[in-house]
Amino acid sequence: MLTTLLKGKLHMAAVTQAELWYDGSCAIDADLIKLAGLREFEQIDILNVNNGERFTTYVIVAEAGSGTISMNGAAARKVQVGDRVIIVSYGQFDEQEASQYKPKLVYLDENNGVERTTNTIPVQVA
């Protein structure tokens, strides 16, 4: 049996562009793609913190070091430039892989600069 787990996350990325007439996808700074363990054409979910929208698209590569987070095609209708989004990918793991796997979590500032990276989320306290 396989279990689906969080594989990588860009937390609180700021949308820098919304391009309705560009090939549908999400363009992400190549450096951020690498840090989060994503890959070109990989399926991702976008969680818009500003408006609650949740949608699925795929990764395309934007210029390294640019800080670009661009929602393209129909996805451009789900965001506004400046919205903060969480970009997540998932993987399927067998029991042995799942017991040892740690996700790549990247926390970003308002300019899509890296604040920190980790592979754990603290236990939520009531």
The closest alpha carbon to 7, from 95, 121, 116, 119, belongs to: 119
Q: Which two tokens stand for residue 55?
A: 């949608």
Give the CA-trace dihedral at 59, 105, 64, 62, to 10 degrees: 20
- Is there a catalytic annotation at residue 89? no
From the candidates 58, 90, 101, 107, which is the catalytic residue?
Answer: 58
Given the DSSP bridges, would you call strands 104-108 and 114-118 parallel, antiparallel or unpaired?
A: antiparallel
- First vs last Cα of the chain: how many Å apart? 33
Active site residue 66: no
Catalytically annotated residues: 25, 58
